[in-house]
Copies of this chain bind each other. A is one copy, B any other.
Amino acid sequence: MSKHGDTALPGQWSPPYLLYLGNPADELAIKTARGVAYWRPEWCIGQYRHADCKPTLGLPDMGMAEAKERGANTMLIGTANAGGVMAPAIVADAIAALDAGLNVVAGLHQKLRENPDIVAAAKRNGRVLFDARDPAPGIPVGNGRPREGRRLLTVGTDCSVGKMYTTLALERAMRRRGLAADFRATGQTGIFVAGAGVPVDAVVADFISGAVEWISPARNDGGWDLIEGQGSLFHPSYAGVSLGLLHGAQPDALVLCHEPTRRHMRGLPGYPIPQLKACLEANLAAARLTNPAVQAVGVALNTSGVPAQEAAALCRRIGDELALPCQDPVTMGVEAIVDHLLACVAN
């Protein structure tokens, strides 16, 4: 686990994880667990599934006691269901996990700490509960003071266009080059992947930029904080979160994330997707308030909806238009973006 941002944790939960799937409605319901299994396989001891569970992460199936025996520290409830409610089966399984000696963490809207039976089970076993949608207490108001260290932030034309994936892909690529680079999580899946972080969209409005300053404190090892973006300056529901994130991050570098087949802003048919150039310029202009030296260093395109033979040409066209490297992190990696990032900051 990273040393930075650990103060975001309200207790001592940590990997290794037993990933709880239970009996999910569909593949989408285990998105969080899948994200953790993909990005942190070394932290995932096994998966817990009901007999009738069809989705799988390909991890060994095991019970809670066995997971504990094999070294698991925490059961991660990595499922989502309609309304984010905690079904009775999940409550029973959370209690069983606590009785087996595991901590329990979850990202549901309904909180573990709001269920008295779960709270009692945690208490009698001396285990820790953690709700990823609960910001830690004590987050300060942003102070805007310049701080040491280098920071990159992913921004987007819309919500759900690949900001978390891109940020983690950059971390992996930079670490492979021997660079110090740490992903800083601002959403629930990211928090489980990082083992720390703050759900920025869940903090009280006055503390958005303060929360981001807090998860990416000054560092002087020459390394990078790679901060997971949220939302979009052009999304009428959530732009306040995106702007506070931008100011708190004081980014040296921005990577713009985009999904080229999206026809309107997520959930809002009346709102078109912004032009890439206008979107990037609006983000740069806003970011200059807290870091006048901010630069755009690349574009990350989610081309999963584009015919494979057209993806490369689309990236070239967008890259030419913005004079930036443009890649699909899933199919093309992010090496060209990292190259450009390093060239920009060396200047």
User: B-contacting residues of A (Cβ < 8 Å)?
Assistant: 141-146, 200-210, 233-234, 236-245, 247-248, 268, 270-271, 282, 285-286, 289-290
Contacts and interface: CB of A to CB of B under 8 A. Distances in A.
A236 to B, nearest CB: 3
A202 B204 CA distance: 5
Contacts of A143: 236-237, 268
Nearest to A206: B201
A247 B239 contact: yes
B237 A240 contact: no
A211 to B, nearest CB: 9
A54 to B, nearest CB: 32
A209 B237 contact: yes
- Which of A234, A286, A289, A290 lies at the interface centre, i.e. has the most chain B CB atoms within 10 A of its CB? A289
Nearest to A210: B237
A141 B159 CA distance: 14
11 contacts: A141-B238, A142-B237, A201-B204, A201-B206, A202-B205, A205-B208, A206-B238, A234-B289, A236-B290, A239-B286, A271-B289
- Which of A206, A236, A268, A271 lies at the interface centre, i.e. has the most chain B CB atoms within 10 A of its CB? A236
Contact of A237 (B141, B241, B286): B141
A204 B208 CA distance: 9
A142 B240 CA distance: 11
Contacts of A236: 142-144, 209, 247-248, 289-290
A240 B210 CA distance: 11
A203 B202 contact: no
A270 to B, nearest CB: 7
Contacts of A238: 141-142, 206, 209
A205 B201 contact: yes
Contacts of A244: 205, 239-241
A146 B44 CA distance: 47
B289 A241 contact: no
Contact of A268 (B144, B233, B243): B144
Nearest to A208: B240
A205 B200 contact: yes
A208 B200 CA distance: 13
Contacts of A203: 204-205
A141 to B, nearest CB: 5
A236 B246 CA distance: 9
A282 B243 CA distance: 13
A131 B290 CA distance: 34
B206 A204 contact: no
A202 B209 contact: no
A239 to B, nearest CB: 5
Contacts of A141: 237-238
A205 B145 contact: no
A241 B144 contact: no
A43 B223 CA distance: 59
A317 to B, nearest CB: 26
B241 A206 contact: yes
